Amino acid sequence: MGVRAAGAFRDTVRNDLSDEKNILFTMYQQLISQDVDPDIANDVCESAKLIPNAGRRLAQGELNSVLASLLGHMGVSAEPIQLGDNRPKTVAFVGPTGVGKTTTIAKLAAHFAIDQRKAVALITFDDLRIAAIDQIKAYASIIGVELVVATNSTDLRRYLKRFKQKDLILIDTPGLNPKNEHSIKELQDYFNKLNTIEIQLVLSATTKEKDLLDTAGKFAALGTQRLTFTKLDETNTIGNLLNVLIRTTLPFAYVADGPQIPDAIDDASIEKLVALVLRHDSRPGVWEGTAHSKMVDPMAAVLETARGMRFVANRNSDVYHVPGCKWTKKIKPDHIIAFDSAEAAARHNYLPCRNCYPDRSDLHPPMLFDSQRLKLSTRR
């Protein structure tokens, strides 16, 4: 190989590496824009470096499959209800007040009884609220499934024997305050020594991460085995759900995104979670109330912008930044503008950020994805 050819080869390799790191950084930005914890986002991007040709795969539009694979390796898993052959599958839904347990049960009952033509029965413990009983009775009547009310653990055991020929038994429980350990202990007594019951914790996507984790910790006393997330249609970011899945290591079973029965619920899958993380947006026409709506992928434009970028700005602002500045994570992906020099930013009437001093080229070499730099940038 001649000197000139060797130099061209080195430049190509250098540019490829730069593109790969910029694309990984862009993925990091997209994750934290969805409120994924910066440390988790950084771990995802660091893990991506270990995948052969990760940068090229990402650049070629394989972002969803790469990210799904990475999350799977980090412990995220999806496990919807699987019916058995020899005995009924029994699933109890527990959780705080107002997260939508009863509606979730109605959706699943309709799905299995009507769509799958399975024999379904409902049991409710929620005998403290007359309205709750009336609500689930109405659902059971419309769907055409049997409903019974259990007032104690003896009732529960009796009804489980009564329904032993069913394919699926769904159990509704009263909403509990996670801080009320006595109430959780009372509910635990219902399930005592009934190891065949699967416990699913229902959580609202509108709840902040700290409270989600606290709730998961308190309900762990019941032997929670799965998570179901509701109200995805009422939030603009779902990174909190991804954080919870990684930190609890519990699989998730379903995601629900509205009150419609039985349509507004989906079997959980890592691929669907990734699609929501990468595409979820509050703009009209992008997120239209259900996970089944056609959504626009803002990452396509961002990946294109990421190539070779040295500085970035919000098209609705007048300030430009070094990628990694704490203010850049507030920029929506489709609002990102990239400049290859401070002069180019100035020509478009953008001013340097006072936080990261992007006009000081001696302080900031061209941005490559670097875990230490990202960690520092999130602490400013």
Q: What is the CATH number of the domain that holds 96?
A: 3.40.50.300
On whether residue 285 sits in a domain, the answer given is no
Number of helical (H) and strand (E) elements in the chain, helices listed first? 14, 12
CA torsion, ordered 348, 349, 354, 355, to nearest 10 deg: -30
Query: Which pLDDT does position 5 carry in this prediction?
Result: 43
On whether residue 201 sits in a domain, the answer given is yes
Query: Which pLDDT does position 147 carry in this prediction?
Result: 93
On whether residue 167 sits in a domain, the answer given is yes
On whether residue 134 sits in a domain, the answer given is yes
> Of 230, 251, 268, which closes a domain?
268
On whether residue 174 sits in a domain, the answer given is yes
- Count the Cβ atoms, other than its own, within 10 Å of residue 188: 16
On whether residue 283 sits in a domain, the answer given is no
Q: Are residues 71 and 97 in the same domain?
A: no
- Count the Cβ atoms, other than its own, within 10 Å of residue 17: 13
On whether residue 280 sits in a domain, the answer given is no
Q: Are residues 157 and 253 in the same domain?
A: yes
Q: Are residues 249 and 302 in the same domain?
A: no
**What does the angle CA 273 – CA 54 – CA 309 come to, to the nearest 5 degrees?**
95
**Best CA proximity match to 173, nearest among 226, 107, 94:** 94
Classify 373 as helix, strand or coil. Answer: helix
Q: What's the predicted TM-score (pTM) here? A: 0.69
Per the structure, the complete domain to which residue 96 belongs is given by 89-268
Q: Are residues 141 and 66 in the same domain?
A: no
On whether residue 281 sits in a domain, the answer given is no
Q: Are residues 101 and 221 in the same domain?
A: yes
Please give the tally of structural domains in the chain.
Answer: 2
DSSP assignment letter at 350 = P
Q: Are residues 175 and 230 in the same domain?
A: yes
Q: Are residues 70 and 203 in the same domain?
A: no
Distance, CA of 46 to CA of 102 (rounded, Å): 41
Query: Which pLDDT does position 365 carry in this prediction?
Result: 38
Q: Are residues 261 and 312 in the same domain?
A: no
* Residue numbers of the chain with a pLDDT score lower than 50: 1-17, 280-309, 361-380
Q: Are residues 141 and 259 in the same domain?
A: yes
Q: Are residues 96 and 51 in the same domain?
A: no
C-alpha 222 chain-centroid distance: 23
Residues facing 90 on adjacent strands: 169, 197
Q: Are residues 68 and 98 in the same domain?
A: no
Q: Are residues 247 and 112 in the same domain?
A: yes
Query: Which pLDDT does position 327 carry in this prediction?
Result: 76
